[in-house]
A and B are shown apart, each in its own frame.
Chain A
């Protein structure tokens, strides 16, 4: 089974990298961009009986290590 975890800075927490890329896009003439957020994607291969079990385990991983929930949010997608 495969799990894809996306980690982003929370809404309201300034993302300096996103801001820099936004400025760069702007100066390249891509003026339609209103916001840029940069995050991380973590792809895990794991053994689990079913999707629910996998989701539960990856949630625990995200809470303890993959994301710092003081500043970051995460989403999990389980792919069979």
Chain B
């Protein structure tokens, strides 16, 4: 039987169909559910996709964290279920307290939309288990609020618990400053390693004809 993934849709979400396409390509049975739902269907993976939930009003992800479905997502995560937040999804997961830190306005104030190299920092988790440490992936980014912030103590905890998933880098893997993120962090996970968040969009890197298929390698972790 194929694995089941649920993609949560908020008002303003715009990557739900790309995410559905990407996960279907990996063999998932995918259901998109509206944020007003109070319960999640049985699933192997819950994805909070990218977009501009509630128009990014107040702060990115600040209003979405109170959507009815979020209680169910928290419960699902508490019970060990895999949750992946991409871009706005990452912002929502930090706002909801499911991931540490916060995402603020890019240092240069620009909306950055381009292909970006990112380096795999750890593969000791379900998400990146098919990648090797130090591997450089080519994945699109598209965000205005991707500047990851965490205080010194929080950063020390991330390092100690192997929670830094990805860093922005150049083609050869040397870290580069993209948006001002602390330690060039592009993605993190929780201590229990079942909740993942990243600013880059692996679901937009599924076909080499469109620039890169490195997203396949990333998302495949959840499919196996």
Contacts and interface: CB of A to CB of B under 8 A. Distances in A.
Q: Do A and B come from one complex?
A: yes
Interface of A: 9, 13-14, 16-17, 20, 40, 65-66, 68, 70-71
Contact of B101 (A16, A66, A70): A70
17 contacts: A13-B149, A14-B107, A14-B180, A16-B104, A16-B106, A16-B107, A16-B147, A20-B109, A65-B58, A65-B62, A65-B63, A65-B66, A70-B94, A70-B101, A70-B102, A71-B104, A71-B149
B62 A68 contact: yes
A40 B59 CA distance: 11
A17 B105 CA distance: 8
Q: Which 8 A-B pairs have the closest CB atoms?
A: A70-B102, A71-B102, A16-B107, A16-B105, A71-B149, A68-B102, A16-B109, A20-B109
Contacts of B113: none
A66 B101 CA distance: 17
A68 B95 contact: yes
Interface of B: 58-59, 62-63, 66, 94-95, 101-102, 104-109, 147, 149-151, 180
Nearest to B61: A68
A16 B180 contact: yes
A17 B109 contact: yes
B178 to A, nearest CB: 13
Contacts of B63: 65
A9 B103 CA distance: 12
A24 to B, nearest CB: 11
B118 to A, nearest CB: 22
A25 to B, nearest CB: 15
Nearest to A64: B66
Nearest to A13: B149
Given A16-B105, A17-B109, A65-B58, 16 more contacts: A13-B149, A16-B104, A16-B108, A16-B180, A20-B109, A40-B58, A65-B66, A66-B58, A68-B59, A68-B102, A70-B102, A70-B149, A70-B150, A71-B102, A71-B104, A71-B149
A9 B66 CA distance: 22
Contacts of B149: 13, 70-71
Contacts of A65: 58, 62-63, 66
A20 B104 CA distance: 15
A17 B144 CA distance: 12
A14, A16, A40, A66: residue with the most chain B Cβ atoms closer than 10 Å: A16
